[in-house]
Chain A
Amino acid sequence: MKRALPVLVLSVAGLIPVWRYAPPAPGTGTTAQAAPAPAPTASSAPDGTTRHTVTGPTVTTEKGPVQVQVTFDGDRITAVTLLRQPDHPQTTAAVPRLVEETLRAQSADVDTVSGATVTSEGYKESLQAALDANGA
């Protein structure tokens, strides 16, 4: 999971330019459409490796429908294209969110806390105070 995260971040970062600059296809936006099954199309690259694209189903999100097409060169992803995207501009925030990060961090034991407190009143309320009391 730890190793997967940077890749995820890079993938999402790669999506954003595509997202912004993709020409508006007819019917983009919130128009409802039946979800097609993934439809791979294969072609042989000059070097002998197989290049193929997989079109994902249309997924309904709270911001609107999303459909992605992924191009593989063998096992490697070479391109990700957004075929359908919601109109809502905030959808580009499909990167790790504070809420998810926080949930992941809560279960962990820690030795110390960075960014704990500025004031001594705040310190009494802080996680660092609890850690210090426990270690004393």
Chain B
Amino acid sequence: MIKKLTAVTIAAVLLISLLSGVSSAARSGFDPKKVGGKVVLTSFSDAVTLIPLRANDQASNDIIGMVFDSLVRKDFYGQPIPGMAERWTYDAKTLSYTFYLRKGMKFHDGKPVTANDVKFSFDMYTHPKTLNTYKADFTDIQSVTVVNDLTVKFTLKKKNVFFLTNAANSGAILPKHLFPRGIDDYNADNSYFSRHPVGTGPFKFKEWRTDERVVVSAFNDYWNGRPYLDEVITRILPDNNVESINLIKGDVDFVQVISPRTVADVEKSSNLKTVVYDRGRFDYIGWNNDNPLFQDKKVRQAMNYAMDRQAVVSKIMLGRGYLGTGPFHPKLPQENKNVKPYPLDLNKAAQLLAEAGWKKGSDGILEKDGKKFEIEIAYNNGNVTRPKVAQILAQNLKKLGIKASVRGYEWSLFLDKQQKGTLDMYVLAWGGYDGNVEHYGILHSSAIPDKNGDGGNNAWHVHYSKVDQLLEAYLQEEDSSKRNKIYQELHAFLADEAIAIFTHHPKLTAGMNKNLLGVRISLSSPYFNIEDWYWKK
């Protein structure tokens, strides 16, 4: 099976390289007439550091994604395709991948890229002292050895079916010659490199003015041909409304997400267009499953029957969204199509609560063992959608005799409480995944955070041996269709257990200049093909 897969991969890779003419000058379909111009993007917050995998914030990672490149890239659907490595082989017996680098690749400072740089980069990411934020993705790497200048071999400790799309994709190639002190330079918080990065990506770093903007410009020697745009400017703007004002005024060319209520204003402008796109994300109302209130499955199901998902999608999202059934996006094969969203059914909810032992007291509030059913639904201040979602649930819960209130918390405080598991209920989302989605980190019992919020991201405190088994089996299954079946099973199980209220998967709306063409937004990134964006001439 493995051999067959490898053979198919090599064949596919060869075919692709034949089609593209193996020339490093330009990608297939490159049209020199599209070259030129600059585009202005926005970000709510300034970048923090531009050293790959040191940052964990979106702003930094967006810039890093333009400046750096890796051995393996992902196609629109998240499948691995050749990046800086023109091909690779896998040997199942020794658990090793051999990558063959393209000839003639250069860093932005003109120095050639060699296998030594690849080894150096992964040595940084796996170093025992590394401050790599995503080091968990790299723990399966046993060793990286240089075979020759253009060949490098990775040996894994154990099978990892996501190696190509995970570590090999996110492990950006660093210029060894700019890290003379090795790991100390990589870990350094305030280095020259962290604010003046040098990579091999389609854009080279040009300028970073704190809290104003970051500018990158086209790298002419990019192995896949230069990007069409001469410059990409990311302006730091404080919020959604200001972004929209700048977009309408023409000072900004592309805004990732326009809030539903400003869509109409943007659409009215004759210079702009909007594009509705899917993002791999799920929105939910969560709780701590260890909270005595929610330990009874019937109560959790009652909460689900009390939620009006349709109102969220049609009234709040104005139709731009899918009803939620679980933590898998409907556009992904991991979703189980047989799982239907819980309908709004207050009678059923009342019945389930009664079966769970909750009886109405003299004041009309549900009681059990002398304790009243009182909950607070939390959201983060500044978010415009979440308070409305919380209100919809709170109104229905009140009809059931539950004393429900809604409260906004400042973001940092909200995160703190959520991670520590002290919020009754909270409205949140989780996203940015594609076909390589894996939920080990948020659903496995080993990832449940302790009282200080340490130890993992399973803040909903889900712990079932069945869930653990499915999550583990998924990571070991090489056959993707079998793998997807495992998650479909997980999906059905989670829905029945009602571990949370999965409300919806929003469709997002991007706003952009009418003349900006070639934009393709993938499930995991709005800048998926930014090197192919161009201006209508």
Do the two chains bind? no
- The chain B residues found within 8 Å of chain A, CB to CB, are none
